[in-house]
Structure formats: C-alpha cells, structure tokens
Amino acid sequence: MWLETQRAFRATVTGVDDAIAPQAHSAHGTLAQRVAVYRNTVQQSLIDVLASAFPAVQRIVGVRFFSALARDFVRSHLPDVPQLSVYGVKFPDFIATHKRLSDLQYLADVARLEWARGESYFAADAAPLDLAGLAAIAPERLASVIFTLHPATRLVVSPHAIHRVWMVNQPDVVDVPAIDIGIAERVILTRPHYAVMVRLIAPADAAFVAALNRKLSLGAAAGEALSVDPAFNLQAVLQDHFIHGTFSTVQTE
C-alpha cells in the first residue's frame, strides 16, 4: 500500500493528474492547491537543473519558451538515478524531435555540445599524457601504439556551426552577429587542468580523434585522417593534443 502511495505521489508531482487524490486529504486548503505546491517545487527544481546545464540553449529560445520546453521534458523524462548532474542526458534528443523546434535544426547539437561540456567537467581526474610518455617507445614501434583518451575528452561533430553559435551565446556577449549555420563544425572538449577547454578542430583532426577513441593504433588513426585531408600534419596535431590534455595513457598493441 505504501509503495502504491509513493508511486501515486511521484506521478502527481511530476505530471499533471492528481493520481494521489484517492489516497490523500488536506486539512488546509483544497487538495488541488496543496498538490500544486509540491508539483511546482519538484518540476521547477528539475527545470532549474536543465537551465544550468543548457544556458546557451535557454538564451537562444528565451527563458519563457525554455521553461515550457523543460517542463514538457520533465513530465516525460523522470530522473532515474539520484544524481542531478546526470539529469538531462536525453534533453538534446528531446529537442531534436520537438515539433516547435523544427526550424532550429542546429539547436539539438548545441545542446549536445553543452552536455559534453558538463560531462567533461564532471569526468574522473587523470594525469594528462605528455611527450615524456612516448620516450620509452622505440621510434619503429610508434605507429602501433594506442592512445587512451583522457576521461574528460569529448568530441562533438555537427553539420552546423555549433561552436560559433555557442560562443556568441555566452553571458558576456551583448551583440550576437549573424551566423552561417550551415558550416559544419567539429568541437573537442578537454580538461587539462581544472577548467574545460572547448576548441574547434579540423575535419581530419576530428577523424583522427574518433579513430583513436575506437582504439585504433596511431598509424591507423593517422591513415584515416590523411584520407580526409592529405595535408594532415600528425606531428603538429599530436603536439596540440598533448598541450590540451587529450590523452591519458599510451600502450603498445
């Protein structure tokens, strides 16, 4: 009986129907009024969590529309783990299928970028790999080594200018310029120290990182990058990744 009451209360405060009504009474005010207080508190707290995780999305669509959008999401996507930092992982896909956002096809990928930034921030700590980590490997074996991405590294690839959109929708930006949304962008997120770094990278570099994430060897990953851009400079790209803490370990096959 108690479990049924808990389920009814949860359905009531996260939805719109008073499922708890048959099992409850109110000594002060109507039951609907009392339930509304709980419902608004629970739903608003989850809306606030989404607003914190997706500030650029909120700025793009406006606070009122975002609040309504987030409330729709809350009612259909309840938290499934007791950790608010992971609540919202399905929000980008929700945006992608929302009928009222069909004219903003880039918005879901902006949300994915914002979510990746949050994941990077909360990822496990690990010492970034530096060039000294390669010193013990013989030159003739370098092509066969396998890099492990740092736990905080994320790659977001989009057919839209998501990095530019995200950049111009930061709190300190007053005048938002016109943007060619149709320019494909690839964004890598790393956390070499304590702050998350969000960087735009070239198509070949993105192919390189994606290949390494699939546990391909350095030589194979470089081959995939070269197939995207014959001018791919492995040495320069590796140096950049070492500076920004993209990798955490290296091993031979």
Task: Give the start-to-end residue ranges of the domains of the chain.
Answer: 1-84, 105-253
**What is the SS3 assignment for 249?**
strand
Report CA 102 to chain centroid distance, whole Å.
20
Chunked in runs of 10, what are the mean pLDDT values of the chain (253 residues)? 53 55 54 64 89 97 97 89 89 96 96 98 93 77 94 98 97 88 97 94 98 97 98 96 94 75
Owner of token pair 């300190």: 172
Strands (E), the chain: 145-149, 154-158, 185-190, 197-201, 247-252
Q: Tell me the CA distances in angstroms from 41 to 12, 34, 72, 152, one per residue in order.
A: 12, 11, 15, 33
Residue where the block lists tokens 């949860």: 10
140-153 burial, b at 16+ Cβ within 10 Å, e below that, comes to eeeeebbbbbbebb
What is the pTM assigned to this prediction? 0.86
Q: What pLDDT score was predicted for residue 5?
A: 47
Query: Distance (Å, rounded) from C-alpha 114 to C-alpha 108?
Result: 10
Q: What residues contact residue 248 under an 8 Å CB cut-off, 6+ apart?
A: 126, 127, 128, 129, 148, 149, 150, 151
Report yes or no: 156 and 112 within 8 Å, Cβ to Cβ: yes
Taking CA atoms, 51 is separated from 63, 131, 221, in Å, by: 9, 39, 37
Contacts of 213 (CB under 8 A, 6+ apart): 149, 155
